[in-house]
Amino acid sequence: MNLRRVYGIYIRQWYLIRDNPTRLFAIFIWIILDIILWGFITKYLDRVGGASFSFVPVFLGSILLWDFLVRVSQGVMVAFLEDFWSRNLINIFTSPIKISEYTAGLTVTSILTSATGLLVMLLLAGSIFGFSAAQFGLLLAPFLLVLFMFGIAVGIVTMAILLRFGQAAEWIAWPITMLMSPFVGVFYPVDILPHWMQVVSSALPPSYVFEGIRAVVFRQSFDASVLVWGIGLCFIYILLAYALFYFVYKKSVRNGLLARHSAESAY
C-alpha cells in the first residue's frame, strides 16, 4: 500500500470539505439537533422521574454513541458519493491507485469528520446538559473503537451498493444504519426484543456496546467478553465488506458498469 496515494485521497476530500460550506453544515447540523433534542427529552424525564434516577447518561450517552456510528459510516459513504457526483469514479479507478488505498483514504477522511463530530457532541452535551464522558472511564475508548470499526464496515458496504446500482441506490444507502437501530438496543435492553430479533442483535457489534454501556451505568460492572465479541465481529465485517466491494468493483469493470455510471451522471 502506497501511503502517498492514501494521503492523496484524504487531502482531496479535505479540500472538498473545507471549500464547501454545505458539507460543513451537513456534518454539524444533525449532530447539534440530535444532542439538543435528546438533551431536553432527558431533562424532562429527569423532572418527571424525580431525583432517584438520571436519564442523562443513559439516553444522551446512547444517542451520542449512535450518532458517532452514523457519522463514521456516512463519512465513508459521502466521500465516495463525491466521486459519483463529480463523475470522477472512472478517473479514480483507471489510475494506478489500488482499491485498498482508495478505501484507506476514505477511512482516514471518516476519522477526521467523525472525530470532529464527536468532539462537538461532547462539548454540547457537557456544556448544556452536564453530560460527562468521564463516568465511563477508559471503557469509552474501546466502545468507540467497536462503533468506529463497524461504521467503516457499513460505509464500505454502502459503497458497494452504490457502485453496483448507481446513484439511484442512495435511498437505500442513507437509512441503512437506521434500519439496524431497532436490533442493537440503542435505548432499551436487547432482552425485551422477540427471540428472532435477539438472534439478529447478537450478530451486530453495536448491540454489545450499548449493553455494555447500560451495565456500567446501572450495575457499575462490565464484562470484558462483550468487547472481545464486538471487536471480533467488527474485524470479520470489515473483511467481508472489503471483499464485497472488491468483488463489485471487478464485476463493474468487466461489464462496463463503471463507465456507464459516469456517463449516466453526466446528464
Segment 165-215, tens digit of pLDDT: 877 777 777 888 888 888 988 888 888 888 888 899 989 999 888 888 877
Confidence of residue 260 (pLDDT cuts 50, 70, 90): low
Distance CA 233, CA 204 (A): 8
pLDDT surpasses 90 at 240: yes
Predicted local distance difference test score (pLDDT) of residue 141: 82
Predicted local distance difference test score (pLDDT) of residue 266: 44
Predicted local distance difference test score (pLDDT) of residue 51: 56
pLDDT surpasses 60 at 29: yes
Predicted local distance difference test score (pLDDT) of residue 235: 92
Distance CA 127, CA 165 (A): 44
> Which residue did the predictor score with more confidence, 58 or 189?
189
Predicted local distance difference test score (pLDDT) of residue 238: 92
pLDDT surpasses 80 at 108: yes
Query: Average pLDDT, stretch 46-56?
Result: 66
Query: Average pLDDT, stretch 123-143?
Result: 76
Residue spans of alpha helices (H) in 50-139: 61-85, 89-93, 99-129
- Domain extent, residue 37, equals 3-264
Percentage of the chain lying above the pLDDT 70 cut:
89
Burial 102-118, CB ≥16 within 10 A → b, else e: bbbbbbbbbbbbbbbbb
- Please tell me the total count of domains within the chain: 1
pLDDT surpasses 70 at 262: no
> Which residue did the predictor score with more confidence, 163 or 88?
163
Burial class (CB in 10 A: 0-12, 13-18, 19+), 63: buried
pLDDT surpasses 60 at 267: no
Percentage of the chain lying above the pLDDT 90 cut:
7
Asked if residue 77 lies in contact with residue 177, where contact means CB atoms within 8 angstroms, the answer is no
Predicted TM-score of the model (pTM):
0.85
Q: Which three cell numbers stand for residue 205?
A: 457489534
Distance CA 96, CA 101 (A): 10
Distance CA 139, CA 147 (A): 13
Q: Where are the extended beta strands (E) located within the chain?
A: none
Query: Mean pLDDT score of the chain, rounded to an integer?
Result: 80
The segment with the largest mean pLDDT, out of 12-26, 37-51, 180-194, is 180-194
Predicted local distance difference test score (pLDDT) of residue 239: 93
Confidence of residue 119 (pLDDT cuts 50, 70, 90): confident
